[in-house]
C-alpha cells in the first residue's frame, strides 16, 4: 500500500479499537441464527445421503428431520428474542437518526437527564457539555447551519458492561445537504434508568473526517 493510500485510509476510517465481542453461542443462536440454522440443515442432508448409501434410509431421515427441527428452533429463537445488545444497537440507530436530522422530539427521550457530550479534540466539546447544551448544539448546527441529507451506518458494535451499564460504537457516513460526504466514529455510553429504559449518558465523537483526527 502506498503512503498516499494509507493516509487516505486513516483519513476515512482510522483503526478504532473494537468493543469486546459477545459470547459466541448467544451471538450465533440469538443474533445471527441464519448461519447455524443453515449449517444444521446442510449437515442433516449430508447425513441422510451418507446413510442412504449404506441402506440406512430410515436412520438418515430421522437424523435429517432432527437437524431441521433444531434449525427451526434456533431460527425461531433468533427471530423472537431481542438481546440487550440488539436493543442497544436499535437505540443507537434511533439516536443517530434523531441527531442527524435535528429531531429534538425523538432525541430527548434517548438522553439521560444528566447526559453529556465531550471530545478533547473539538473546541466546542473540549470541556464537556450537558444535556441542554447538547440539544441546543444539535438544533443550531444540524438543524440550521449544516442540515444533513442522509446517513448510512457502516459498522456498529455493542457491549454490556454490567446490569445497568453498556457501551456502543458506530461508524457512519454522513451526507450534508450542502457539503461533501464525511465519515465519523462515535462512542456512546448507556445507562439503564430506574424506569427500565436505556438512555445515553455520554456521547463522544472519536473521529470526524477532515475535522477530528482519531486520538486527538
pLDDT in tens, 51-108: 888 888 888 888 888 888 887 887 777 667 778 999 999 999 999 999 999 999 999 9
Best CA proximity match to 106, nearest among 116, 117, 91: 91
Mapped onto helix, strand or coil, the DSSP state of residue 173 is strand
* pLDDT at position 39: 85
* Non-local CB neighbours of 1 within 8 Å, separated by 6+ positions: 9
CA dihedral 206, 211, 213, 215 (to 10 degrees): -40
* pLDDT at position 5: 37
Is pLDDT at 200 greater than 80 in this prediction? yes
Best CA proximity match to 171, nearest among 157, 159, 155, 187: 155
Specify whether the CB–CB gap between 189 and 180 falls below 8 A. no
68 or 186, greater pLDDT:
186
144 — pLDDT class (breaks 50, 70, 90):
confident
* Non-local CB neighbours of 104 within 8 Å, separated by 6+ positions: 98, 135, 138, 139, 143
Is pLDDT at 3 greater than 80 in this prediction? no
Is pLDDT at 45 greater than 50 in this prediction? yes
Looking at the DSSP bridge assignments, the partners of residue 166 are: 160, 190
Is pLDDT at 206 greater than 70 in this prediction? yes
30 — pLDDT class (breaks 50, 70, 90):
low
* pLDDT at position 145: 86
- DSSP per position, 100-121: HTT-HHHHGGGEEEEEEE--TT
Could you give the C-alpha distances from 64 to 43, 47, 59, 74, in angstroms and in order? 8, 7, 9, 15
Q: Chain centroid to CA 18: how far?
A: 11
Q: How large is the average pLDDT for residues 18-47?
A: 80
Residues 7, 8, 12, 15: is their CA dihedral positive or negative?
negative
Is pLDDT at 29 greater than 50 in this prediction? yes
Q: How large is the average pLDDT for residues 145-167?
A: 94
Specify whether the CB–CB gap between 184 and 174 falls below 8 A. yes
Amino acid at each position: 500500500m502506498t503512503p498516499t493510500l494509507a493516509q487516505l485510509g486513516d483519513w476515512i476510517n482510522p483503526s478504532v479499537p473494537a468493543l469486546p465481542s459477545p459470547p459466541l453461542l448467544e451471538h450465533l443462536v440469538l443474533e445471527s441464527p441464519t448461519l447455524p440454522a443453515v449449517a444444521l440443515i446442510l449437515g442433516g442432508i449430508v447425513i441422510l445421503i451418507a446413510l442412504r448409501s449404506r441402506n440406512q434410509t430410515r436412520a438418515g431421515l430421522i437424523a435429517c428431520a432432527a437437524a431441521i427441527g433444531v434449525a427451526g428452533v434456533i431460527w425461531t429463537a433468533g427471530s423472537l428474542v431481542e438481546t440487550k445488545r440488539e436493543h442497544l444497537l436499535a437505540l443507537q440507530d434511533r439516536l443517530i437518526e434523531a441527531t442527524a436530522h435535528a429531531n429534538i422530539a425523538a432525541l430527548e427521550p434517548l438522553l439521560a437527564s444528566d447526559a453529556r457530550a465531550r471530545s478533547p479534540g473539538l473546541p466546542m466539546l473540549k470541556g464537556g457539555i450537558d444535556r441542554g447544551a447538547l440539544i441546543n448544539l444539535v438544533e443550531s448546527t444540524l438543524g440550521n447551519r449544516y442540515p444533513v441529507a442522509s446517513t448510512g451506518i457502516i459498522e456498529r458494535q455493542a457491549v454490556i458492561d454490567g446490569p445497568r451499564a453498556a457501551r456502543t460504537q458506530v461508524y457512519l457516513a454522513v451526507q450534508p445537504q450542502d457539503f461533501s460526504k464525511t465519515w465519523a466514529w462515535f462512542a456512546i455510553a448507556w445507562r439503564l434508568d430506574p424506569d427500565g429504559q436505556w438512555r445515553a449518558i455520554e456521547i463522544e465523537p472519536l473521529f470526524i473526517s477532515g475535522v477530528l483526527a482519531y486520538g486527538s
